[in-house]
Amino acid sequence: MLGRLAIPFTCESPEIDESPRKGETPAQLVTRLAETKARKIANNRNNAIVIGSDQVALLGPDILGKPGNHEQAREQLARIRGKCIEFVTGLCVLNTASGTIQADYVPYAVYFRVLTDDEIENYLRKEQPYHCAGSFKSEQLGISLVSRMEGGDPTALIGLPLIRLAEMLRKEGIPVP
């Protein structure tokens, strides 16, 4: 995703505790986790721009995790058929040279069609989205499960809101494009 902005980068995955805190909203959770990830990577970097992100999928007030296996993915998709899922993506840009931190979140709504059991099973056999929140990959076959999507930045759905990120990078003096 970051390659679309045509700037050089390296990727590193920090190991952090991603557990929600008591009373924390989904927006607060993903923003905190994005910042925590950026801070952890920034500890090892001088004069760098560090980007952190995190995402949750919501069905009403419930956070939909990554299903992990076929049966749980089937249960998730059966539960969300005909409903709207909100994906909330947290984003943080940390400038290690100046110490500035920008953190925000971007919501994106996905409306699922009323799926038959056969459609769910067929999708899961082909896509196997067991490591995706909500058992869904919009950038692949999962788009066929959807009736419509709403939001200001479609890349937020994939996990990195590039429109908002480009704004943050420009504030740090990085020309995009």
pLDDT digits (tens, 9 = 90+) for 93-144: 999 999 999 999 999 999 999 999 999 999 999 999 999 888 988 888 999 9
Q: Domains of the chain: which residue ranges?
A: 25-171
**∠ at Cα 171 (167, 174), nearest 5°?**
85
Q: Does residue 68 carry a pLDDT above 90?
A: yes
Segment among 10-14, 47-51, 106-110, 146-150 with least mean pLDDT: 10-14
Q: What is the CATH number of domain 25-171?
A: 3.90.950.10
For 141-174, letters b (16+ CB in 10 Å) and e give ebeebeeebebebebbbbbbbbebbbebbeeeee
Q: Judge whether 118 counts as a catalytic residue.
A: no
Tell me, what's the pLDDT at 111? 97
Alpha carbons 92 and 32: distance in angstroms, whole number:
9
**∠ at Cα 146 (108, 128), nearest 5°?**
95
Q: Does residue 57 carry a pLDDT above 90?
A: yes
25 three-class SS: coil
Tell me, what's the pLDDT at 81? 96
Given the residues 54, 62, 104, 118, select the one marked as catalytic.
54
